[in-house]
Amino acid sequence: MEITLATHYGFCQGVKNAINIVNNINHDNKPIYMLNKLVHNNNVCEQFINNGIIILDDDRSLEEKINSINEGTIIFSAHGHDKKLNTLAKNKNLNIIDTTCPKVILNEKSIIKALNENKTVIYIGIKKHPETIASLSISNKIIFLDFFNPDYSLIENLDNVSVHNQTTLIQDDLKKINDVLIKKIKHIEIHNDICFATTLRQKCFDQITNEDVIFVIGDKISSNSTRLYEVAKNKFKIDVYHISNLEEIKKLDLHKYKKGFITAGASTPDQVINPIIKYLTNY
Ligand code: SF4
């Protein structure tokens, strides 16, 4: 198959930075806990487990997880976290490693600034996503709008509003929500907080000309990979596959396709992407 590669795909700087921090942790005899998946990719997480890190990927809140730990190091993920948890961990004498992406930190600061200026803050995000949970923990005054199902009754009669959002949303769909807010609220400032890495990866679909199939490589649990897949599905009439790994793509009969476009989410490692590129190129 003839292959076109997206000009920007795979790991973003925030993910590289987080992995680098974890790979440089000094291992002593005490346990190291990752409170949830550092980045949403199972391949990356398996490598951490192989390096002796315990990943607490269950449904408990971060607070419950920290309360269950008595010694060692805890790692906060790249998505951000409730800063009150730092105090909880310090009170338990736990060593804290924070891998929050600088862009997420910037967004959190801008929410705090708006609150300090007595603005009403609206946050648009995906329900239960760690970044959304972290952002909403800044203040219980923040009004949450679900990216997939915004309840506009929550914003009736608001004024002096600052609108913020999760970093890995879809640009076009976010714009639709923001356009409604602009119409309904007189004094409003919109902070489009989708990160540069996410924007670049979504923009790469503009490269597509005569390809007859698109492959989005990334874990199904990854927000940015899933959003990339959704963008492609909505934008093009050709077939789009969301592929987690080589084993998955090997099960597909792809003989009818002549020219494929490959991209990958910001949490997908090269060791997952490269074998798929090789497989498809030789198909
Ligand atoms: Fe940071 Fe964006 Fe990467 Fe998330 S996707 S880690 S916000 S650069």
**Residues 85-125: tens digit of each pLDDT:** 999 999 999 999 999 999 999 999 999 999 999 999 999 99
* The pLDDT of residue 43: 87
The answer to whether 145 and 177 are in contact (CB under 8 A) is yes
Q: What average pLDDT score do residues 241-258 get?
A: 97
Query: For residues 41 and 21, is the Cβ–Cβ distance under 8 A?
Result: no
Between the CA of 99 and the centroid of ligand 1 the distance, in Å, is 11
Percentage of the chain lying above the pLDDT 90 cut = 93
Highest mean pLDDT range out of 25-39, 43-57, 131-145? 131-145
Is the CB of residue 91 less than 8 Å from the CB of residue 40? Answer: no
| pLDDT at 262 (0 to 100) | 98
**pLDDT above 90 for 28:** no
The single residue of 131, 211, 230, 248 carrying the catalytic annotation is 131
Of 167, 202, 263, 267, best ligand 1 pocket probe by most atoms within 8 Å of the beta carbon: 167
Type of residue at 175: K
Q: What pLDDT band is residue 144 in, cutting at 50, 70 and 90? A: very high
CA of 47 to the centre of ligand 1 (A): 20
Reference 77, options 36, 129, 17; nearest CA is 36
Ligand 1 centroid to residue 78 C-alpha, Å: 8
* Beta bridge partner(s), residue 69: none
Atom index in ligand 1 nearest the CA of residue 17 equals 6
Ligand 1 midpoint to CA 101 (Å): 6
194: how many CB neighbours lie within 10 A of its CB? 20
For 35-76, what is each residue's pLDDT tens digit? 988 888 888 899 999 999 999 989 999 999 999 999 999 999
Write out pLDDT tens, residues 147-202.
999 999 999 999 999 999 999 999 999 999 999 999 999 999 999 999 999 999 99
**What's the per-residue H, E or C state across the chain?**
CEEEECCCCCCCHHHHHHHHHHHCCCCCCCCEEECCCCCCCHHHHHHHHHCCCEECCCCCCHHHHHHCCCCCEEEECCCCCCCHHHHHHHHCCCEEEECCCHHHHHHHHHHHHHHHCCCEEEEEECCCCHHHHHHHCCCCCCEEEECCCCCHHHHCCCCCEEEEECCCCCHHHHHHHHHHHHHHCCCEEECCCCCHHHHHHHHHHHHCCCCCEEEEECCCCCHHHHHHHHHHHHHCCCEEEEECCHHHHHCCCCCCCCEEEEEECCCCCHHHHHHHHHHHHCC
Per-residue pLDDT at 27 exceeds 90? no
pLDDT more than 70, % of the chain: 100
The model's pTM is 0.91
Tell me how far the alpha carbon of residue 126 lies from the centroid of ligand 1, in angstroms.
15
Nearest CA to ligand 1 atom 2: 195
Counting from 1 in the atom list of ligand 1, the atom nearest the Cα of 101 is 1
The binding-site residues of ligand 1, defined as CB within 6 angstroms of any ligand atom, are 12-15, 78, 101, 103-104, 167-168, 195, 197-198, 224, 266
Annotated active-site residue 248? The verdict is: no
CA dist., res. 47 & res. 231, Å (int): 30
Which pLDDT belongs to residue 40?
A: 83
Smallest Cα–Cα separation from 137: which of 177, 187, 86? 86
